Amino acid sequence: MTIYTPNTKDRTGPKYKIIADAITDDIHDGHLAAGVKLPTHRDLAYRLGVTVGTVTRAYAELHRRRVADARVGSGTYVLDIARQAQVFSPVSNITSHEPLHRSDNRPTLEQPRDGNIDLSMNRPPPGPETEALAGTLRQLSGRNDLSILTQYNPAPGMLHHRKAMARLLNTIGLECEGDDIILTSGAQHAMAACALALLNAGDVLLTENLTYPGMTSLASHLGVRMRPVMMDEYGMRPDDLEAAVRETGARVVYIIPIMQNPTTATMNQERLQAIAAIAKRHNLIIMEDDVYGFQPKNRNPPLAQLIPDNTIYTNGFAKSIAPGLRVGCMKVPKTLFSAVTQAVQITGWMIPPLMGEIASQWIDSGLAQHIIDWHQDECIARNALAAEIFKGFSFQSQPECLHMWLDLPDGHHADDTLRNLRDQGVILAGPESFITAQADVPRSLRLCLGSTPTRERLKVGLDRIHKVLTEQPVTGFARMENMVI
C-alpha cells in the first residue's frame, strides 16, 4: 500500500492552490485513478507541513474543478474525469462509435456496436421524423423559389417561419405572435444568446441546485458564478429563491419548470405562481428552459405566460421532434429583444433558412404535432417499462419524460456503481455532472430512456442496471491491487 503525498516542490502561489494543482496534475497524468480515496485533511496537512484549513481549502478547489469530491462520513475521492468530459460532449460520444450504418440505402444513427448501451445522452428515439424529412426534401426539390433559402436573412429569422413557431407555442398555452419570436440553431444556441445578453463575468446566476450541464458549462465559460437554489418535488423552492435573491442581489434566474433535468420535477400551478410573484417583486429576469415542454399531454402554461415582461422563454425541436434539425426559439420581452437579437448575430447570425422552412412546413401541415404525439406515446411506453423493472426502487419520473432519476440503494455509491455498470456494458452520466456549487454529490443516477433506438435494447440496458443495483456493492478499492490513500 502506497501512501499518497502530492509533490508540491517548485510550485508558486497560494499554498492551497499549490496543493490543488499538484493533485490535479496527478489525476490528469493517471497517477491517481478514478475512485481513489485521498488522504484525510489532517494526515495531508501533517505530511505537507500546512494547516488543516489549507488542505480543506485545497480539497474545496478540487471539488470546484470537478476532479474530486467528498462523500459525507467517508472521505474525498477522485472522480472519473474521462466520463465527465463525455456528459456534455455529444461529438465525442458519436465519434467514439460507428455512427452511420447503411440499411436500405439510408444512413441511421445507432448505438455503438461493441455491445455497450449508452444511456448517458438525453435524446429522443428515432421516430416518424425520418420519413417526414424525406418527404419534405422531395417537395422542396420541386420548388422554383428556393433562392431565398440560400441567402442571408434577418437575425430573428424569416417572419413566416417565426409565425409558424408562434402557432406551435400557442398549443402549449403560450400566447405569442411571430414578432415576439427569435429563431435559433437549437435551444442551446438560444440559451447562449440569453446569457450573453443578460450576464457579465462575475455576475451571479441563480439555478436549481441540480441542473442541465450545458448551462453549467456555459456559465463557466462566461465567468458567471452559479448559486444553487434548493428544490423539492415541484422544482425550485420559492423560499430559497427569495433568500438567494436577498443574499446575492442576483437578477437572473435559470429554471427548467417542466420535467426538470435531471430530477424530472415539474412545477404545479401554485409553484409557478409563487415563482412568478418573486420575479415580479424583485424585477428578476427568468431564463425559462422549456425544452421538454412539448412532451406532456397535459401541462400548465409556461412562466412566460404568467410574467411575459420578466421571462425569456426558450424551446426547440430537440427533445420532441428532431434534434438534428437544430431548430430552437425564444419568446423575448420587447425591452430585451434588441439585445438578444444582437447576441444571436454574434453567435451564429441566424437560423439556417432551410431549417426554418422545414420547421414551418411541418408545423403548418400538422406533421410536427404528429411527431410530438408519437414521441409522447413512445415515452409513456418506455417509462412504463422502466417502472416495471425498478419496482420497489425509489425513483422520480413523469409519464412522458425522456429520463428518470433513480436513487441508489443503501451501500451503493455513484462512482463505484458507474464503473461496475461500464463493466456490464452500460454507460451513464455521473450525478456530479448536474451539481452547481454545492459540496455533496447526490446518490442518484439519471437514466436516459430515449437513447436506445428500440425498447428491446432499452430493456437490456435497464436489466443490467437492475442486476448491478441488486447485487452486493463492489467498490473500486476491492478491484485495485495497489491501493493509494
Distance CA 72, CA 472 (A): 21
Question: How far is residue 274 CA from its own chain's centroid?
Answer: 25
Residues of the chain with pLDDT under 70: 1-2, 71-73, 81-114, 438-439, 474-485
Q: Are residues 50 and 88 in the same domain?
A: no
- The domain of 225 spans 152-366
Residue 139 located in a structural domain = no
- The H-or-E segment that residue 206 falls in is strand 204-208
- 253-276 residue pLDDT tens: 999 999 999 999 999 999 999 999
Kind of pairing between the strands at 426-427 and 117-118: parallel
Distance CA 302, CA 269 (A): 10
C-alpha cell at position 402: 425522456
Residue whose C-alpha cell is 462566461: 222
Q: Are residues 416 and 333 in the same domain?
A: no
What CATH number corresponds to the domain at position 249?
3.40.640.10
Using alpha carbons only, what angle is made at residue 461 by residues 296 and 377, rounded to the nearest 5 degrees? Answer: 25
Give the total residue count for the chain: 485
- 289-348 residue pLDDT tens: 999 999 999 999 999 999 999 999 999 999 999 999 999 999 999 999 999 999 999 999
Please say whether the dihedral angle defined by the alpha carbons of residues 295, 298, 300 and 304, taken in this order, is positive or negative: positive
Q: Are residues 330 and 274 in the same domain?
A: yes
Residue 485 located in a structural domain = no
Q: Tell me which amino acid residue 169 is.
A: L
Residue 167 located in a structural domain = yes
Residue 389 located in a structural domain = yes
Q: Are residues 254 and 290 in the same domain?
A: yes
C-alpha cell at position 78: 477522485
C-alpha cell at position 369: 404535432
Distance CA 227, CA 246 (A): 12
Final residue belonging to a domain, choices 308, 331, 366: 366
* Structural contact between residues 340 and 329, judged by C-beta atoms closer than 8 angstroms: no
C-alpha cell at position 295: 412532451
Residue 4 located in a structural domain = no
* Structural contact between residues 284 and 310, judged by C-beta atoms closer than 8 angstroms: yes
Q: Are residues 355 and 378 in the same domain?
A: no
* Structural contact between residues 473 and 400, judged by C-beta atoms closer than 8 angstroms: no
* Structural contact between residues 484 and 38, judged by C-beta atoms closer than 8 angstroms: no
Count of domains for the chain: 3
Residue 57 located in a structural domain = yes
Q: Are residues 185 and 263 in the same domain?
A: yes
Q: Are residues 23 and 97 in the same domain?
A: no
Q: Residues near 243 by Cβ (< 8 Å), separated by ≥ 6?
A: none
DSSP state of 391: T
Distance CA 115, CA 126 (A): 19
Residue 163 located in a structural domain = yes
Distance CA 86, CA 82 (A): 7
Distance CA 378, CA 399 (A): 10
Residue whose C-alpha cell is 481513489: 36
Q: Are residues 285 and 204 in the same domain?
A: yes
Q: Are residues 346 and 274 in the same domain?
A: yes
Q: Are residues 174 and 261 in the same domain?
A: yes
Q: Are residues 423 and 307 in the same domain?
A: no
* Structural contact between residues 149 and 278, judged by C-beta atoms closer than 8 angstroms: no
Q: Determine the pLDDT at residue 466.
A: 97
Which residue from 329, 325, 305 is spatially nearest to 315, judged by alpha carbons?
A: 329
Residue 142 located in a structural domain = no
Final residue belonging to a domain, choices 339, 366, 393: 366
What CATH number corresponds to the domain at position 454?
3.90.1150.10
Q: Are residues 358 and 445 in the same domain?
A: no
Using alpha carbons only, what angle is made at residue 368 by residues 92 and 166, rounded to the nearest 5 degrees? Answer: 100
- The H-or-E segment that residue 343 falls in is helix 337-348
The DSSP annotation for 128-169 comes to THHHHHHHHHHHHHT-S-GGGGGS---TT--HHHHHHHHHHH
- 70-113 residue pLDDT tens: 766 678 888 876 555 555 544 434 433 333 333 344 444 444 44
What CATH number corresponds to the domain at position 55?
1.10.10.10
Final residue belonging to a domain, choices 322, 346, 366: 366
C-alpha cell at position 467: 442486476
Distance CA 260, CA 305 (A): 19
* Structural contact between residues 340 and 332, judged by C-beta atoms closer than 8 angstroms: yes
